[in-house]
Structure 1
Amino acid sequence: MIATLPLTRRFRWTYAAYVLVFFVYLAAPLLVVGVFAFNDSRFPALPWQGFTLDWFIANTPERTGLIHDRGIIRSVGVSALVAGCVTFLAVTLATLNAFLFERCQFPGKNLLFILMLLPLVIPGVILGISILIFASRIANYFDFNHDILLDMLRPGLLLVVLGQFAFLSTIATLVISARLRTFDVQLEEAARNLGASPLTAVLTVTLPFLAPAMIGAGLICFLMSFENFNTTLMLVGSDATLTITLFSRLREGATPVLNAVSLLLMLGSMLLALLAVRVQKRA
């Protein structure tokens, strides 16, 4: 909608109603999940049986709350470990990529940039399957021909990290590159004129300028890694992440504990998103 065009009152009301319906459509399922996390019933469905916190804190033979569910707590730790590793690797490579694409000129630069963007357009399931097949063939070759066991290339946390890193590093690169593009190179030149080496100038001048973008990219990577399902499903081993654990539990039947986990995930995602926006605004 173009604000400068004259609009009738009917159009404004219609547009406002459309926006309201759109956001209700998006928020209604999330609100339902959050509400039924407090329903005093063994099944997350109507009728409403009363308010309870049992699905968060209970520890009885009849009910086991979220904080006492060892399987879910363990999967949260696995997801946090994977997300931390992916975030560190993605932000590190993205920072190097940003300098490569913004500061350097070389043959095939545009082609390399397009290849970097490919993981974003490839479906997560296809990406996971491709990495799994590639890693399995390498492991099978060394196993059958040289009697060398490369268990690290079998389904497990390493492949999960590599699979998520493949597309999250691209997202982080785009975020950090956009920030580096606005940097005044003369600030680095001034630091070098004052006696700083090229590396010292980058570390003391450029990286502090990039810090907000690096933090924002890191928060995005952590959040997307923690909640990733499609790619992780193809690569996970015995150590399941939180999303895989929730999927396995849901196949056995929905329970209010899953609603409680979903509610905490929504709140955590909201806080990280708000933090990322605030960091970007301070930049």
Structure 2
Amino acid sequence: MIPTIKQSRAFTITYGAYVTLFFIYLALPLVVVSVFAFNDSLFPSLPWEGFTWDWFFGRELPKRGVFFESGILGSIGTSAFVAVSVAALSVGVGTCNAFLFNRYEFRFKSALYILMLLPLVVPGIVLGISILVFSSTLANGIEDGVGWDIEALRPGLVLVILGQFSFITTIATLVISARLKKFDQSLEEAALNLGATRMTAVRTITLPYLKPAIFGAVLVAFLMSFENFNTTLMLVGSDAPLTITMFDRLKEGSTPVLNAVSLLLMLGSSVLALAMIAFQRK
């Protein structure tokens, strides 16, 4: 709807109702999950048995809270380690990719760009299976050939990081490229005319200009890695990230402690999103 074009009252009411229902549809599942994180019941469902903090701070079974669940806390640490590693790798490579595709012309540039975008259209579970088959085949071949058992090529955290990096780096590249396209290269040329080297001009002029995009790419990469399930499921080893741990708990039988974990994740994601908005405004 274009604000400058006057609309009929009926259309305005209908449009407002549609937008309201749309946001209710998006928010209602999150609200339900949050509410049942405080339900004094062993099951995350009706009836409402009363308000409790046990699913956060309870010490004893069967109502041991999330802050005293060593398995869940350990998986949160694993997810954080993976997410930080993936974010660092993705943003570093994504920044280089942004300069490569925006500043240079070379043969097969379009084909390489399409190849970079390919992981975004491949389903995550297919991507995970493909990486697992390739790495396992390579590891078996090396072991049979020279007798070396390379643990990094087996399911585990290294493979999880590489699997998530394979598609998250594409998103980081697109985020940083979008801002780099708006950069006025005459600023770099002025620095070069004043005696600065190419690297000095990039470091002191271009990178500060890209700082909001780089910060946003870090947050996006971190959150996407932290909540990734499909690709991680195919590559995980004994150290399971949070999404895999929650999936295993659901197979055993859901309890409100998973609602409590979900609520904490929503709050953490909201804080990071607000931090990104505040940084970009600044």
Q: Quickly name the TM-score band, shorter chain normalised.
A: over 0.9
Q: Deviations along 1:35-74, whole A, 9 cap, x unmatched? A: 0001111111111111111110110243211100000000
Q: CA deviation at 1:103?
A: 0.5
Q: Distance in 2 between matches of 1:273 and 1:127?
A: 28
In 2, are the aligned partners of 1:220 and 1:276 still within 8 Å (CA)?
no
Are 1:40 and 2:25 an aligned pair?
no
1:180-219 pair list within 5 angstroms: 180-219=180-219
Q: Give 1:138's aligned residue.
A: 138
Q: Which runs of 4+ in 1 moved over 4 A?
A: none
Are 1:101 and 2:118 an aligned pair?
no
Q: Deviations along 1:8-39, whole A, 9 cap, x unmatched? A: 21121111111111111111111000000011
Q: Deviations along 1:234-275, whole A, 9 cap, x unmatched? A: 110000000000000011111010000000011111121222
Residue 48 of structure 1 aligns with an amino acid whose one-letter code is W
Gaps of at least 5 residues in structure 2 are none
Q: Distance in 1 between matches of 2:26 and 2:42?
A: 26
Q: Give 2:229's aligned residue.
A: 229
Identity level (%): 61
- Normalising to structure 1: TM-score of the pair? 0.97
Q: Give 2:120's aligned residue.
A: 120
Residue 86 of structure 1 aligns with an amino acid whose one-letter code is V
Q: How many residues align?
A: 282
Aligned-partner SS, 1:107: coil
Q: Distance in 2 between matches of 1:158 and 1:148?
A: 17
Q: Give 1:83's aligned residue.
A: 83
Aligned-partner SS, 1:137: helix
Gaps of at least 5 residues in structure 1 are none
Residue 15 of structure 1 aligns with an amino acid whose one-letter code is Y
Q: CA deviation at 1:279?
A: 2.9
Aligned-partner SS, 1:138: helix
1:250-269 pair list within 5 angstroms: 250-269=250-269
Aligned-partner SS, 2:149: coil
In 2, are the aligned partners of 1:44 and 1:254 still within 8 Å (CA)?
yes
Q: Distance in 2 between matches of 1:64 and 1:169?
A: 38
Q: CA deviation at 1:145?
A: 2.2
